[in-house]
Amino acid sequence: MALQKDNASNTAATESTLLPPVDNLLYLQNQRLKVALADRVQQVAQLQRDVQRLVQESEMAARENFEIAEYMRKELLHKEDINVRTRAALSGEQQHAVTEMAAAKQQAHANEQRLQSEANLREEELAREIIDLKEQVAVVLEYKAKRQYVEDEFAALRQEIERLRGELALQAKVLETKYLERAARLKKSHEEQIEALKRTAELDAEERTDASIQRIITQNKNLTDELAVHVEVTEGLTKDLNEVAAERRRLQRDLKIKSEVEQQMAIRGALQARSLKEGTVQMASLEGNIAAILSSFDAERSELWARTGQQLMESEGEQTSLRRLLKLKTQELANIRHLAQEVLSHRSDVETFLLSSIHQVQKAASQDQSMKATLNCSTELAKPLSAVDIKDLSWEDRERVLRLLFVKINSSARQELPLHQLSAQHGSSLREGLQLHGTQAGAKQTAIV
């Protein structure tokens, strides 16, 4: 620009040396006007470039907003598709969970019935074992009672045997003593009788021989009978003693057998008591296992229902958020379209204003050119109306065009446009760009003025 000014000044100085004074003055004024108009044209071109840049930035922001809205719409459709698939999967999982829950409930019911039947069978077996144990305990108690009775009887029999033994010993001694005494007496009496018979035998041998012999034979027979009776009594007592000893041995054998039976019954009773205790413990353990299984099933069912409800609530909340986001993005897209339409309309107004201003300036320049032609000014302004250059405009027209252009740009830049709450960043950047452009334009206008 400085080079153009130097060239223009050099050309003007060269031509001023060749022209008359009046024409030289007009020519110099015209050259100064051309230089100033060239500066204004460059400023207007710079303003047009700034306006185009702002329009491009606005279009870019609108395109970005549209792309963002389109991306959000696609993302929302994708989210809705995912939500539909999630709902379908959740419905399938819920149906599967209900099926599994029904199967688990049926299995638990079957297990419960099986365990209940097993528990009932075990209870019946334990009841039968308890009855058997009670019978065995009753037998043992009866055996204990009988054993005490037998022991008492055995003790009594033992005492009776001892007493009988003592009595038999005494009777044997007494009988032996009596037998010896009687035998001695009989012997003595027999000897005396024999002596008497011997003494009298000779006296009445002939008379009493038959009677004495018969009497002696009779006495001997009586003594023999008495001795046989005593021997028989002794044998009977010995036989009774042997029978008592055999009975004692039999009772001892029965006592030993009953002791062994009692010991076996005690062992069997202990085993059955331990089995009964183990059965009771096992029954309690089975009841605890059944209760634990039922509680675990209830807890798992509650947890499954809670998790399913939570997933449904989260899915519904996400769907609501996505719908709200879609609504907001739709509103944002509408606002962005409205903003783009406003920008396009303002751009059209600026272009229309610039074109009308240029036509008006061309018309005024043509009139000014016709007026200057009467003064026979040899200038370069005589051109067709259709090809009027902005350099040919006068200072007043140029100032008028620039003022109108700056006022229009400033009024367009400072106009408030509606912004969406989600596009505040893009709207604020566009508004700041327009305000900055308006400020720069105002500063340039002030500098020009």
What b-and-e string marks burial along 348-377, b requiring 16 or more CB atoms within 10 Å of the CB?
eebeebbeebeeebbebbbebbeebeeeeb
Q: Answer whether residue 380 is part of any domain.
A: yes
C-alpha–C-alpha distance, residues 319 and 431, integer Å = 34
Instruction: Give 383's DSSP letter.
Output: -
Is residue 14 a part of any domain in this protein? yes
103 in any annotated domain: no
Which stretches of the chain drop beneath a pLDDT of 50? 1-5, 7-9, 11-20, 376-388, 413-414, 416-449
**pLDDT given for residue 223 in this prediction:** 73
pLDDT of residue 14: 47
Helix (H, G, I), strand (E, B) or coil at 384: coil
Residue 341: which domain range? 2-68+325-448
Number of domain units in the chain: 1
* Tokens 């989260």 found at: 314
- Confidence at residue 376, expressed as pLDDT on a 0 to 100 scale: 45
Other Cβ atoms closer than 10 A to 249: 10
Answer yes or no: is 60 within a domain. yes
**Residue 330 in domain:** yes
State the pLDDT at residue 157: 73
- What count of other Cβ atoms lies within 10 Å of the Cβ of residue 244? 18
DSSP string, 146-175: HHHHHHHHHHHHHHHHHHHHHHHHHHHHHH
Q: What is the pLDDT of residues 92-130, one digit of tens each?
A: 776 776 787 777 778 777 777 787 777 778 778 777 777
- For residues 280 and 118, give the distance between their C-alpha atoms in angstroms, rounded to a whole number: 13
CA distance linking residue 222 with residue 67, whole number of Å: 160
pLDDT at residue 421, as a whole number = 41
Query: What are 364's two structure tokens?
Result: 């005024």
Domain contains 444: yes
Does residue 227 sit within a domain?
Answer: no
Rounded to two decimals, what is the model's pTM?
A: 0.25
> Residue 342: inside a domain, yes or no?
yes
Q: What is the dihedral of CA 9, 10, 11, 13, to 10 degrees?
A: 80
Q: Are 278 and 125 in contact (CB under 8 A)?
A: no
The pLDDT value recorded for residue 447 is 39
Cβ contacts of 62 within 8 Å, gap of 6 or more: 336, 337, 339, 340, 343
Q: Dmax over Cα atoms in the chain, in whole Å?
A: 250
What is d(CA 186, CA 161) in angstroms, rounded to the nearest whole number?
A: 35
